[in-house]
Amino acid sequence: MKPLQRRAAVSWAAVALLAALCGIVAVLQYRWIGEISEAERQRLQEQLRDRLDALRTRFDQEISNACAALQPDSREMAQAGAEQAYAARVARLPRNRRAMFRRIAIATPDGDTLNLALLDTAHGTFVPAAWPVEWNGMRERLFARMEGRPLPAASAASYALLEMPRFGPDRREQNWLIVELDTDSLRTVLLPDLLRRYLGQGGKSEYDAEVQVDTTPPTAIFESSLTGHALHDPDGSIQLLQGPSPEPGAAPLGVRVPLGRPPQHRLRGATPVAPRISPAGPGWTLLVRHKAGSLEALVEQTRLRNLALSAGLLLLIVATVTAMVRISRQAQQLAALQINFVAGVSHEFRTPLTVIRTAAYNLRGRLAARPEQVERYGNLIQHEAEKLQALVEQVLRFASVKAGVGVRRLEPVNVIELLEKSLESYEAAAGQSGTVFEKHLDAGLPPILADEVALQHALQNLVDNAVKYGAEGGNWVGISAMPVEDSSGTAVEIRVADRGPGIPPDEQRQIFDPFYRGRRAVTDQIHGTGLGLALAKNIVEAHGGSLAVDSEPGRGCEFIVRLPAQIDAEAATLRT
């Protein structure tokens, strides 16, 4: 295996290995992201449990602290009497706490009846009042307590009522303070604040929330999203107020934790005077669902984002490696071409130099004594020196084309004159080489804007190739020039054709690359540097034109140059 082939095989093996590694990494990453997502889901659920628990604790504290502040101690009771003592407490309540209660009342047993005194907020005193209808559930409940009967079922209408018994010295319930929570205030102040604080980030709640009274069907008393739709499939729920217990005064506020954790707190100890607070209506449940749709949806979103990110990174790696492999292959090919170029140019130099050296030796050694022999050797030296000069010219021109200065001043040029000049030397040598030049030059050709010397060089390269490679096809070179119309306007089309071996299809794209030489040119040792077509194409394109090849192997080939015509009237008269 040649070194170049070996290097190519190694590159392909590396690419295959990399593709396999990328595949393995992709599978591992897919699994890993799945595991991370599962862990994230569990973490979020636990975090939600903790946050709900903390929220409920805070809610309980807020309510029980407000209720505790309403409870006079026994000294206040003894000094002012029950009603004044309660009224004084209400008067001392801070505004925000006072806003939590819609109505406050005292229920006092009197024989078989239960008297109700409602707080008159305007005067700050308790006045006897009839039991409001929606408080009936509470009334029934207190009667049952007085008579030691089992407590009746919770009344839906009493969902916002709490009662706090006051015990006498005989440890019997003397009276009850009844408070009705102001659900408007809870809805607009306390609950949004708690949601922001315990379920939010950056001052905004991450969850939609709903508070339901546990009636059948449940009644929503708070909705954070204001959509008006009930919250289906919540991510978590927790009891805020528990419904009444069958045991008198047995259960304080929220005690159930639906997410499966035992409660970590009780109201006891939350306030200096721990009131026994019992709701009279059904319990309240807080339901929450993440704003992304659900916790599952949030985790899925994150999983998809992570997958997209890793896929993107993987693609980037693959693209980078592919680019690197391509660049290194191109560099290898370029290096090979350059080696061929150096070898080719050296070879091109060697033949004329050998001829010149031999001719000079013969002249010096008087081997050629006769004047006609001197003349012959002189001609030979001149001819070979011209070849060398052309070669050096070619290389220098290529260097200037690469430096971007291959084409200099553009002037209106007559195409027929340009072609005649380009063919001059070849036609002069036609007698010796036996090449036939067949020309079809349209007399009405418009002028073109060109750097005449550069364009002549480009055309000569094409003619040179036609002579060189077409020799085995009968030494015929066809040159035509005619005006054509294309999408960008009028153009001049010059065709240089030969009947040589043609160019194989797989080589047709590469022949315009610098240093590239066809297989046949190399094996048949046809002289050349691989720069002619690259130069011609560069020069033609610098004139705004195009160079293409049309060839069928075995039937010769034709190079087609198109250059935009200079239709400008002034220019047209200039040189025609």
Which 3-state string (H, E, C) describes 518-542?
CHHHHHCCCCCCCCHHHHHHHHHHH
Spatial contact of 24 and 167, defined as CB atoms under 8 Å apart: no
Contact between 406 and ligand ADP by CB under 6 A: the answer reads no
What would the x/- binding string for ligand ADP be over residues 12 to 51, using CB under 6 A?
----------------------------------------
Q: CA 511 → CA 297, 331, 514, 533, distances in Å?
A: 58, 18, 8, 7
Least separation in angstroms between CB 29 and ligand ADP: 48
Q: Given the complex with ligand ADP, which of 502 and 545 has the nearer CB atom?
A: 502
Interface segment toward ligand ADP; rule CB under 6 A; list 31-39, 159-167, 298-306, 523-531: 523-531
Residue from 380, 557, 561, 571 in contact with ligand ADP (CB under 6 A) = 557
Cβ-Cβ contacts under 8 Å for 379 (sequence gap 6 or more): none
Q: Given the complex with ligand ADP, which of 40 and 513 has the nearer CB atom?
A: 513
Amino acid code (one letter) for 249:
G
Neighbours of 548 (CB within 10 A): 13
Q: Given the complex with ligand ADP, which of 546 and 576 has the nearer CB atom?
A: 546
Q: Which of residues 483-512 bind ligand ADP (CB under 6 A)?
A: 498, 500, 503, 511
Q: Given the complex with ligand ADP, which of 538 and 566 has the nearer CB atom?
A: 538
Q: Given the complex with ligand ADP, which of 46 and 393 has the nearer CB atom?
A: 393
Q: Given the complex with ligand ADP, which of 469 and 476 has the nearer CB atom?
A: 469
Length of the chain, in residues: 576
Least separation in angstroms between CB 471 and ligand ADP: 10
Q: Given the complex with ligand ADP, which of 135 and 469 has the nearer CB atom?
A: 469
Least separation in angstroms between CB 512 and ligand ADP: 7
Q: Given the complex with ligand ADP, which of 29 and 510 has the nearer CB atom?
A: 510
Contact between 517 and ligand ADP by CB under 6 A: the answer reads yes
- Give the CB-nearest residue to ligand ADP: 518
CA distance 477 to 474: 9
Least separation in angstroms between CB 465 and ligand ADP: 3
Residue from 466, 471, 565, 571 in contact with ligand ADP (CB under 6 A) = 466
Interface segment toward ligand ADP; rule CB under 6 A; list 198-206, 256-264, 448-456, 459-467: 459-467
Contact between 518 and ligand ADP by CB under 6 A: the answer reads yes
Structure token pair of residue 353: 């130099």
DSSP assignment of 171-237 equals: SSEEEEEEEEE-HHHIIIIIHHHHHHHHHEETTEESEEEEEEE-SSS-EEEEESS---S---S-SEE
**Bridge pairing between strands 204-205 and 200-201:** antiparallel
Spatial contact of 423 and 496, defined as CB atoms under 8 Å apart: no
Contact between 290 and ligand ADP by CB under 6 A: the answer reads no
Total of chain residues touching ligand ADP, rule CB under 6 A: 22
Which 3-state string (H, E, C) describes 488-505?
CEEEEEEEEEECCCCCCH
Asked if omega into 217 is within 30° of 0 (cis), the reply is yes
Q: Given the complex with ligand ADP, which of 101 and 476 has the nearer CB atom?
A: 476
Structure token pair of residue 244: 């009444």
Q: Given the complex with ligand ADP, which of 221 and 535 has the nearer CB atom?
A: 535
Contact between 476 and ligand ADP by CB under 6 A: the answer reads no
Least separation in angstroms between CB 342 and ligand ADP: 14
Tell me the sheet residues that pair with 117.
106, 128
Contact between 521 and ligand ADP by CB under 6 A: the answer reads yes
Q: Which of residues 524-543 bind ligand ADP (CB under 6 A)?
A: 528-534
Q: Which long-range contacts (CB under 8 A, 24 or more apart) does 162-170 make?
A: 162/63, 162/67, 162/277, 162/278, 162/279, 162/280, 163/107, 163/138, 163/277, 163/278, 163/280, 164/67, 164/70, 164/71, 164/275, 164/276, 164/277, 164/278, 165/249, 165/276, 166/71, 166/77, 166/82
- Binding region for ligand ADP (CB under 6 A): 461, 465-466, 469-470, 498, 500, 503, 511, 516-518, 520-521, 528-534, 557
